[in-house]
Amino acid sequence: MAAICTPPGHPGANVALIAAQFGHQLKLTVQPPDADLKEPVLTTADGEQIQQSDAIARYVASAGGAADLYPAAAAAAIDAWLATALGIERAAAAWCQPGSAAATAEQRAAARAQLEAVLVQLETALAGSSRLAGAATTLADVAVLSSLLPLYQDVLGLDAQQQFGSVTRWLQACAAEPQFAAVLGAVSLCQQPTGWAEAAAAAAGVAEGGKKKKKKKKGGGGGGGGEDGASESAPSTQASAANLEEMDPERAARKAAKLAEKEAKKAKAAAKEAAKAAAASDAGAPKDDGGKKAGKKAEAEAKKAAEAAEAQAWLEAARATPAGEKKVLPAEMPKGYVPKAVETAWYEWWQQRGFFKPDLNSDKPPFVIVIPPPNVTGSLHIGHALTNAIEDTVVRWRRMSGYNTLWVPGTDHAGIATQTVVEKKIAREQGKTRHDIGREGFLAEVWEWVGEYGDRICSQLRRMGSSVDWDRKTFTMDENLSAAVKEADNRLVNWCCKLRTAVSDIEARVTVVEYLKERGLFRGTLDNPMRLGLCSRSKDVIEPVLKPQWWVNCQQMAADACAVVRDGRLEIIPREFEATWFRWMENIRDWCVSRQLWWGHRIPAYYVALEDEAEEQRGNPGAPSEHMDRWVVGRDEGEALAAARHRFPGRPVKVVQDEDVLDTWFSSGLFPFSVFQWPQQTPELARFYPTSLLETGHDILFFWVARMVMMGMKLTGEVPFKQVFLHSLVRDAHGRKMSKSLGNVIDPINVIEGITLDGLHQTLLGGNLDPKEVEKAASGQRADFPDGIEECGTDALRFALVAYTSQGRDINLDIKRVVSYRHWCNKLWNAIRFAMINLGSEFQPSEALDVPSFPFASRWILSKLNGAVGTTIRGMEAYEFSIATSAVYNFWQYELCDVFIELMKPVMALDDAAEGAAAAKQATRDTLWVCLEAGLRLLHPFMPFVTEELWQRLPRRPGQQQAASIMVADYPAPVEGWSSEQAEADMAYMLLVVNRTRALRADYDLTTRQRPPMLLRCKDAAKAALLASCGVEITTLTTNASLQMLAEGEAAPPGCAVAIIDEVTTVYLSLSGVLDAAKELEKLSKREGEAVGKLDQLQRKMALPGYQDKTPEDIKALELERVVKMEAELEAIRHHIADMRTLLAEAAAA
């Protein structure tokens, strides 16, 4: 039996108890509340402890036999709502007893702002839906209701309940379900008429032990008429004024931000106190390794806890941002990068400001792209994430580069795929087939599925940062797209049905049998073993059915599609796919467009029944008795009936529409122009069609791209887009295709937010995998993600996917690389923190830069910035994304952060009174600001969220017109006069010396505290002058004590380590007095013995009889390479031993 214990008043027990009601397989007891607990704790029958409401909810659903509460198809959406419920729990504590008694007015204001933002989110989600994550009740409903209920019962007045009417109706409907009612009983809501019942929260005044504080009497004896007495009985008008002030969203957000700063400061103070305590404990403990380790561990844990508290306070303040409002940034920049906090609120603000929308009156050149509409069969996978990362990167770059951009979103009805999954769902849940419930009933079930998964896909696109124009969101079964399909049907489809070759082949076989029988040559029939085709989706045997089909003659359209590629009107990138294009187009066959399905665009063809004929003469559509001349077409039944009457004048007729639907690719092929309301000649069609680019995977070049080109040219007379960019397919880290049964299909939200291994296992449940496949997939997950997936954030995922994209090659996605980019985001964060400290609060960028007068490092980095900008733009124009991302990454990582920011430090340490110091500092600050500001704009298309957050913190040039957001700022362009080949060549040579010196230090395991003097001998006068002028820069980057240039003929001091840079330059490090030669000699001798032993063991193995004959060639090559490396390592060790002996000898001689 499991047991749950919660803090007093915490809703976690209700979450567990209600979830258990849905399964009836888990016995659960509730222990008395424990005031020492911070979060609810569930103890399993095996003694395992599970903390936090979300984790407890998942466990109860799994262990209690309530898997339907957490279906794999909706897991990501449910997880998001579980996280929301946690936020509600924590914010509601400031308003609901017993936590409200200790809450300050500021804390309640911040909590209210956060709760109102969540209520707005819930109201939007529930406006057209009865449940949060699909049609059925899930853990999302259980957890969110449990966390909201105390507010609805004690705090939210009737006007607030009416304001959030959809939330209120949902809450009441859920509470009435038997499983909820069994735990909650009859639920009654707060009956206070107005507002947030702050008096109930603040004045209830719950004292220790649960007793209410006695109110002080007015007047003498009990507390007089002082301020305390007055505050306890504040007039209602004052309370109303306070409420009005707190209702101001911007003010509430600012309060939340200030509260976050206070919480962060408290966390830092707590960390310092914990560190002091740990140090004191360490000082008083015995000086053994155990005591030291314990002290360090305590200090590290205290620091970690402080950082977590700071991050949580920051996140809660960001989440308190009212929907669509600009996020208020904490005045003090948090120490570390937290993806959740950074990504919160920016997208809603961008959308609310209209940054995603095109300007119909703009004279800017248009850049238009339509999304490859994802199927509504489920949620987006990592392949979709690649598509959208690439497309959004291109769209953001074009928008910043002066184009009037439009990116149209949409989803595809995916006929056979969607029908298959819904049929399986009905069979699993109801035990019925589609025929049992009929066509209309089945289509209603499909539309419900579409509503659930269409919304989920849109949510995922938002999380990915996709800057699409949501006002133009389309679905291939929408009314206007259906009208386009009907128009295209009437223009394109060859309505003269013929029985194809399959029928004539069968007739030939029957005739042969009869001929043999007539001549006495027939010997009989025997079973013949054969391979049977199976449907890839349903696994049913594919049986040939003789049925007339509708066809489109594609010969001329395909020839036209070849011509536009040959004459350059359509560019296919990479060009290697042109051969595939021509092979398919030049060997095209007629296109069968009819499908024997219920879900899809029903074919607008009608069979004419002549009512004055006998029924057996009328024929049956789709059967052998069908009359081919009885078909008419029309955009609707009325048009078809008119056509029938025209064909059979004076005859009584009725028409019956064909049961079949069109191939999904037919409607998808119209997408580039149907989204602009074709066949209507709208202003949008005239302005935005043809589109600029079609970006998609190379695997659907024929299925989708070719059909869009053929149909677009036939129906509109124009090629639907100017360029096609075909990206590679995403495979797992082992190069395997993504497959649910292998467990390597990755939901991008799980990479963005992180997920445990158990969470990954849960995604396999509730789908269509059989138990054996589930176990196989779980095994694959354990092998690839033993610790789950670390939280990476959207920016890191996007950058990794785009950086992986190299034309013509598939992508083997290793999540570790995504994690590395998440750490890189932290480096960017720290670079801006450093800048804000060194620029100072009074810094204003100079309006004009005299770059030739700037210090050497500043001239160099501005030249490198120019180069990075140029390379990035060229890469983007050629769709060479790996080149573009490498240019941006290298500039930030290896040039700005690793070199320039390090070289700034000695400049900023100069005494302002020193000659030239003030000018050098100002030039260095200006250079830093330019590099950061331009560098963030350069990076923005790839990493939209972190760049916006950081760019908003940078100071602005006085009097300069500034964009409201980085996403509508100008993309950087090379600046004339900043490029300097000489500065780059000089710095390259200096860095060659620096890197070789660093390698020399590493050879001797020197720490940063060991700073030997450095000496340089250079035979080339120009290079010697350069290196002499860069003494501060060289010693800064090499962490050496000093730099001395040796004159010609001057000997280096004894006891130096030596590195030859090239034919003219040699580096010396004076190790005398820096290293303990005797200790180093002892360590080196030990390393020599180990190296000799390993080398001897390998050489003896290779000398064994039969080694050369029996060992595979690749193994022999590998082991030979190991021998060479071991010998080189041994030689280096012996060289260092000789150096140490020399040092010892010199010390003895002295």
For the chain, which residues make up each domain, given as ranges? Answer: 2-203, 253-322, 825-960, 984-1070, 1077-1149
Q: What are the CA-CA distances from residue 382 to residues 356, 456, 512 (Å)?
A: 23, 15, 55
**What does the pLDDT read at residue 116?**
84
pTM of the model: 0.73
Alpha-helical (H) ranges within 594-662 are 615-618, 637-647
pLDDT band of residue 572 (cuts 50, 70, 90) is very high
Least confident of 96-100, 200-204, 672-676, 1141-1145: 200-204
Structure letter (DSSP) for residue 218: S
* Cβ within 8 Å of residue 6, ≥6 positions away: 12, 13, 33, 34, 37, 40, 41
Q: Letter for the amino acid at 444? A: A
What is the average pLDDT score of the chain?
Answer: 84
3-state helix, strand, coil in the chain (%, to 5): 55, 10, 35
pLDDT tops 70 at residue 506: no
Q: Strands 1056-1060 and 1042-1045: what pairing?
A: unpaired
The CATH fold of domain 825-960: Isoleucyl-tRNA Synthetase; Domain 1 (1.10.730)
pLDDT tops 90 at residue 97: no
pLDDT band of residue 738 (cuts 50, 70, 90) is confident
* Cβ within 8 Å of residue 291, ≥6 positions away: 282, 285
Q: Which residue has the higher pLDDT, 1034 or 178?
A: 1034
pLDDT tops 60 at residue 496: no
Distance CA 889, CA 887 (A): 6
Distance CA 322, CA 113 (A): 7
**What does the pLDDT read at residue 405?**
97
pLDDT in tens, 121-166: 888 788 778 899 888 899 999 999 999 999 998 888 888 888 888 8
**What does the pLDDT read at residue 767?**
65
Least confident of 220-229, 337-346, 589-598, 961-970: 220-229
Structure letter (DSSP) for residue 38: S
> Other C-beta atoms within 10 Å of 898: how many?
15
C-alpha gyration radius of the chain: 37
pLDDT tops 70 at residue 200: no
Cβ(51)–Cβ(93) below 8 Å? no
Does the domain at residues 1077-1149 carry the CATH identifier 1.10.287? yes
Range 727-758 burial, b when 16+ CB lie within 10 A, else e: bbebbbeeeeebebebbbbbbbbbbbbbbebe
Rounded mean pLDDT of 570-595? 93
pLDDT tops 50 at residue 940: yes
**What does the pLDDT read at residue 1045?**
95
Please name which of 489, 879, 950 lies closest in space to residue 692, comparing C-alpha atoms. Answer: 879
**What does the pLDDT read at residue 221?**
37
Strands (E), 488-619: 551-552, 571-573, 591-592, 594-595, 605-610
Name the token pair of 886: 């490498």
pLDDT in tens, 828-861: 999 999 888 888 888 889 888 999 999 999 999 9
Q: Strands 28-30 and 2-5: what pairing?
A: parallel
**What does the pLDDT read at residue 1114?**
87
**CA dihedral sign, ordered 772, 776, 777, 781:** positive
Paired residues of 605 in beta bridges = 633
Please name which of 357, 364, 455 lies closest in space to residue 406, comparing C-alpha atoms. Answer: 357
> Other C-beta atoms within 10 Å of 1148: how many?
7
Length of the chain: 1150
Distance CA 263, CA 216 (A): 32
Q: How far is C-alpha 715 from the geometric centre of its chain's CA atoms?
A: 38
* Cβ within 8 Å of residue 595, ≥6 positions away: 415, 416, 660, 661, 662, 663, 664
Distance CA 679, CA 702 (A): 24
Rounded mean pLDDT of 1090-1112? 91
**What does the pLDDT read at residue 622?**
75
Q: What are the CA-CA distances from residue 716 to residues 419, 670, 1097 (Å)?
A: 31, 10, 76
**What does the pLDDT read at residue 766?**
63
Q: State the CATH architecture for 2-203.
A: Up-down Bundle (1.20)
Distance CA 276, CA 438 (A): 74
**What does the pLDDT read at residue 105?**
80
**What does the pLDDT read at residue 7?**
87
Rounded mean pLDDT of 604-612? 91
* Cβ within 8 Å of residue 644, ≥6 positions away: 606, 608, 632, 653, 655
Q: Letter for the amino acid at 259? A: L
**Exposed/middle/buried for 638, CB within 10 Å: 0-12, 13-18, 19+?**
exposed
Percentage above 70 pLDDT, the chain: 88
**What does the pLDDT read at residue 616?**
80
Q: Quick one: angle between helices 139-154 and 75-92, nearest 10?
A: 20
3-state secondary structure of 120: helix
Least confident of 493-502, 745-754, 923-932, 1103-1112: 493-502
